[in-house]
Structure 1
Amino acid sequence: MKRLVLVLGLALLSGCATVKRSQLRPDYESVDKTRVKRLVVVTQPLPDGKQAVGELWSLVARRYVNQNRDFIAKANVALEGSPADTSFRGLCTDDAEGILWLSPDMKPQGKGMEAAVKAQLLRCSDGQEVWSAEAAGSWASEDKRYTELTEQYTGELGAEVAPYVAPTFRLLSATLDTLPRPQLNDKDVEDKIELGE
């Protein structure tokens, strides 16, 4: 019995993100593919109640969608408490066309983190959901594959985020890989090049 508990515990700490659900609007190809490209990334509430960890989540997500999903995310924020307006229309400023909202649940567990996220891509024009996903998992905080990434984010956000980097990246990359890919025009491509991410 002890051996089974140990094996299950190790499996949880070294596990991978389980995307429990991912959903895309049926009219995405005809409506949003060419219209929802410029995003603001919002993390609310704060993961583990920590501002720096919320900033980590938003920054990791912003960079990930810019590099891997063809979006143009220029801004990211982390807000405490529960959102008063779940369409986040107040953040739809400048040329933002959508809000990528991450609603995390993250807490330390042993030498790692247990984490879950509910994510939504919301249209700025009317607050409608374009895409959503839910995922969860447990990971060790120290992972040699993410040493450089941990150093990068602790350099930017402080040592407090170190145990959160690898679990955050693993959960968000699995979740955000279910996002669609928008269709970019020439101006969009120029804007992405200017971002340099």
Structure 2
Amino acid sequence: MKRLVLVLGLALLAGCATVKSSHVRPDYETVDKTRVKRLVVVTQPLPDGKQSVGELWSLIARRYVNQNRDFIAKANVAVAGNPEDTSFKGLCVDNAEGILWLSPDMKPQGKGMEAAVKARLLRCSDGEEVWSAEAAGSWSSEDDRYKELTTQYTEELGAEVTPYVAPTFRLLSATLDTLPRPTLSDVDVEEKIELGE
């Protein structure tokens, strides 16, 4: 009976999963693990066509990878339209080694949001893809677990982002948890501590 409950529980969890696919380069351990650590996060196109929501996506992603994935993400931007250069070479400045590109699709649905993202980590040196993931789902905008987070981002970015915070965080945290973990040197760790995120 315990085994049946466990199997049913795992099946239910799998049914709730938001990540549809995720891929890391086969040579990640030998090529990128110690070389692609400093990132710029870019959201393009804008989710739901709103600049402030694009800024929300990039800011949540920057803070999440700094706190949970050992990257050093110093900058985040949100850009309207579709990218003309999908390597984002123009953003590879100030010792950036990679671009974390979020390509969202998000729209209000009832009392929440329907959202999807295609995410890619690109090497600045040659524009090659290091990691990619796709995820989607629908979430309520009012979730008690994210009340404090919603208040924080609303104060930072304005009331327009309020209904987007909880769904964005849920989608991005699941997606970004599939990122690989780089190896940081002592100097990198000090730099990361200085960021304070």
State TM-score, norm by structure 1: 0.92
Match of residue 113 from structure 1: 113
Letter in 2 for 1:118: K
- Taking only the aligned residue pairs, the percentage that are identical comes to 86
Q: Provide, for residues 1-51 of structure 1, a one-character-per-residue CA deviation record: whole Å limited to 9, x for no partner.
A: xxxxxxxxxxxxxx9551110000000000000000000000000000000
In 1, Cα distance between equivalents of 2:112 and 2:31 = 41
Structure 2 SS opposite 1:166? helix
Match of residue 142 from structure 2: 142
Match of residue 179 from structure 1: 179
In 2, Cα distance between equivalents of 1:98 and 1:183 = 14
Letter in 2 for 1:99: I
Structure 1 segment 48-63 matched on structure 2, within 5 A: 48-63=48-63
Match of residue 67 from structure 2: 67
In 2, Cα distance between equivalents of 1:16 and 1:183 = 31
Assess if the C-alpha contact under 8 Å between 1:43 and 1:55 holds in 2.
Answer: yes
Match of residue 46 from structure 2: 46
Q: Does 1:194 align with 2:194?
A: yes
Q: Does 1:80 align with 2:80?
A: yes
In 1, Cα distance between equivalents of 2:70 and 2:88 = 22
Match of residue 11 from structure 1: none
Q: Provide, for residues 58-85 of structure 1, a one-character-per-residue CA deviation record: whole Å limited to 9, x for no partner.
A: 0000000000000000000000000000
Q: Structure 2: state its 5+ residue gaps.
A: 1-14
Structure 2 SS opposite 1:63? helix
Structure 2 SS opposite 1:82? coil
Structure 1 SS opposite 2:70? coil
Q: Provide, for residues 110-160 of structure 1, a one-character-per-residue CA deviation record: whole Å limited to 9, x for no partner.
A: 000000000000000000000000000000000000000000000000010
CA shift for structure 1 position 164: 0.1
Match of residue 35 from structure 1: 35
Letter in 1 for 2:18: T
> Pairwise CA RMSD of aligned residues?
0.9
In 2, Cα distance between equivalents of 1:71 and 1:18 = 23
Query: Would you say how many aligned residue pairs link Structure 1 and Structure 2?
Result: 183
In 2, Cα distance between equivalents of 1:160 and 1:86 = 28
Change (3 A) 1:58 1:17: farther
Structure 2 SS opposite 1:136? strand
Assess if the C-alpha contact under 8 Å between 1:100 and 1:121 holds in 2.
Answer: yes
State TM-score, norm by structure 2: 0.92
